[in-house]
Structure 1
């Protein structure tokens, strides 16, 4: 009897057939709230230390833009309300990336003259979207500065990548023209807000466009999107809404301690909905109760994993790891499931953090070979650390020679060794 056919997913609509939807993406209410609020934040320029405050606003805007990029790359075609799952330092890393690109261009002009400098500037401008997408996938500035990553994206996506670069340039030029026009005809105070809205809107369009390019070409760039369900049930009243209303009243009255104790008792006695757990953690952060945040995080992580809510579990993992880098699931099975989901969701560093020293924490686990094969794959494809990946695979060959995954381990090891042989510099002859 032949094997049943594999179900085929619906083809992804190319970005050139969704340009209207892409340009209207930031107009969703959830995105416009952030765009407008942060545009008003630019009014800080009129305050003491204004440039520093505006820089912080810009960093926040870039972080939200990365949230939109990643959500789009994962198949979500509506913008998120706030930045939750991205690294809080991504905004700074993007600004650092652009500063480095500009500095390299200037150095090129100074050292090699205007012709080479302009050529270098054009090349870096062409590669900046690729570097930005790499930063979104790997959350590593070092990885985003790796030219091999940019070239890989460009060659694998082909003319589509060049088309997106051209569209980003058109959007940037249009934004500059509209901003200059607004600054010319409006009073300065109002113009600061309007120019900020235009710039923020254009930024979200470009990052959404780059995210969609990753989504469209995920199969050739090694990114596995976590596609959402197309149909979502209508929102219902939270079963614990009465409790949440009571907590909100305590907070309004300036009694966060009472609110925290009320939620703590409810969770210990009867559990609670996601909204209750979320509100409890907000109050714990407000009162800086680090130990309780970690204790509750461990408990709530078990609940989320049991309910199959992987995305929420990853968000919780990131939050708790920021408090305690060694934080992780309590058992091997949860670690395996969550690390795999993190890798599929384009969060390789989080996955690798969970898999670090897995064999020492769970020496009897049957998941060691599959987890270290995943880790080696991520280290090879996302971090370009082939020596480390090869060492990990050789460890598996030595200690688990009869494992059923050995053919895949051998194939991955052979690929890594071929890559190393190609990239290895020829030894200098004496």
Structure 2
């Protein structure tokens, strides 16, 4: 059974907010944002066809947002796949209620300007409760029942102002996005605006889902993700980490052996890796930390968690300045990532280590060029940059990077201050 990524219900909202910005850009959510952004081109079709197509696209948007809210409320860390747990009725109901909110605002602007702000405040206050109700029950009559909305609001207490603020911010960002794209050609503005709006809707519903998870007992929400994780035996990992920590007080080596076998599996959770490294540090086992670093870096890169892998490279480099991931593909990937993130010294060191370890690898010229640019530029070491380029010798005449090598070498040989 595939590993189920679970979020603890007690995760602080500040942490959820920080992590939440990346939620719409992962897995099924990213695919949905991209697909719906392109689907909004249907609004450019003539008259009725464009209106109907636009309504269908918005329905799909709200339906997926509702999926994300339920998914998060049930404890899942990752976005749902498209169509896995969709509810068409929820999509239509959410579309209707948000069209009603927009229409009310337009009517207030045109006919009753003095009522505009009361209308905005009213919908800002009730929309989170309405959205939550429709996402779970798809019942428009229930979602418009004042008694039911009051019960939902009471379930959050003062924290209910958080989703209210999220909705107000969402509205402001949508206005800003529409203004920013107004100056662009319509064929470009349509998908850009649609992607931004879809991203913001998914983010808002994901954060509201997290608040529902924190109060799941009050709202009668089952912890589906936790149940699946338990069924897959993932809770055994937590028990194993606790057992190893207790055993370490009496027999540190036995505690390490207890964890070692499980860590060979790339699906091992961070908790076990962190427990293992803590035990190694406690015993001062520098070589063990470096060996484990190689294993965990490979697992992190394979899981597309390159930022964490880069932090681990930094940690291992502090133990051994010559440390280099033992897989050339991983080393090249992390060198490029370090350069993009402004970690110039680490990127240059990885590039130099790559060229020294794998001079005949097809990626060596690219690594040498990247390292030389960093050494000769922000790091101010032109002589070292020339040495790194020289390690590659003379590239074949038909090599795609030969002209870049020659141009950079000529630039580096210029006297300081020369044009």
Give me the TM-score of the superposition, normalised by structure 1: 0.47
TM-score (norm 2): 0.48
